[in-house]
Amino acid sequence: MNHHRSLDLNLDAVAIDPFSINSREALATKFGDEDDQELQLKEKTEDSSIFEVLRAELARITMENKKLNAMLESITCDYANLSNKMIDLAMRKSKILGTLGHSNCVSSEEDLCKIVTKETSTNACKVQICVDSNLVVRDGYQWRKYGQKVTKDNPNPRAYFKCSMAPSCPVKKKVQRSVKDATILVATYEGKHNHNPLSQLDDNNNNDNNNRDDNATILYDRKPSESLLEEEEPLIRLNSNNLVGEMARTLSKDPSFTAALANAISGRIMQLQSTTR
């Protein structure tokens, strides 16, 4: 990782190169120039010592930056490992059979943990999901409800949905609360999507940064006939580099943080200047 570029904080500071006369002039402009003549005199007599101190300070800050990046990498790695384990536990517990379709996307770990069981029929697949309210299953696709019926074997109404993400998409789903446990939604999917789910469309739209992926996304890429009986690791995409970038972006947008950081840097430089005089 290039630690000089990794945290692009976009500070409103001059590009400081302690070995450049121009930069020192810029420093003087930015932080106040009380006495140009005195400064020039000191520069001539104390240049070498100032440069040495600044060089040491730059090395120290560089090392500190490396340590911070290493810590961040470690935290990110731990987070990814924990996410993996949590999702893996949810998958083992759920004893998932079959699949939602050729390509399915669960929008979050929270949703995944709510999946209880799945079972397949001939062309359709059945999913049971615990939900809080409404017959809404967030499965990565956009649905339009076109009917609702109360069936004979279940007092809970069955809702009928069509995929509305593409006009020609033939996929339908039925969602109904379980007779045994009303907190469980039974969703039956029929057909095969002829387009990508919402999250992947979003990814495609983020042309400014193709690697950006803020959420952990679980992707299955399997034909409907293929079984999920054998335990299989879901593909989890966690991009630590993007997490670092996102943190940097967030911090750089915080005026109080950038002001405090700029103030700390300038204060440190001023302190160095005063101690070397």
Nearer to DNA, 161 or 220 (CB): 161
25: left (phi over 0), alpha (psi -120 to 50) or beta: alpha
Nearer to DNA, 198 or 269 (CB): 198
* Bridge partner list, 120: 125
CB of 107 to DNA, least distance (A): 16
CB of 195 to DNA, least distance (A): 14
Taking the C-alpha atoms of residue 148 and residue 253, their distance in angstroms, rounded to an integer, is 47
Q: What is the dihedral of CA 256, 262, 268, 273, to 10 degrees?
A: -140
Which parts of this chain interact with DNA (CB under 7 A)?
142-149, 151-153, 158-160, 164, 172, 174
Taking the C-alpha atoms of residue 84 and residue 79, their distance in angstroms, rounded to an integer, is 9
What angle do helix axes 240-252 and 36-94 make, rounded to 10 degrees? 130
Nearer to DNA, 143 or 220 (CB): 143
CB of 188 to DNA, least distance (A): 8
Taking a C-beta distance cutoff of 8 angstroms, is the pair 140, 107 a contact? yes
CB of 159 to DNA, least distance (A): 7
Nearer to DNA, 37 or 134 (CB): 134
Nearer to DNA, 147 or 267 (CB): 147
CB of 219 to DNA, least distance (A): 24
Taking a C-beta distance cutoff of 8 angstroms, is the pair 10, 252 a contact? yes
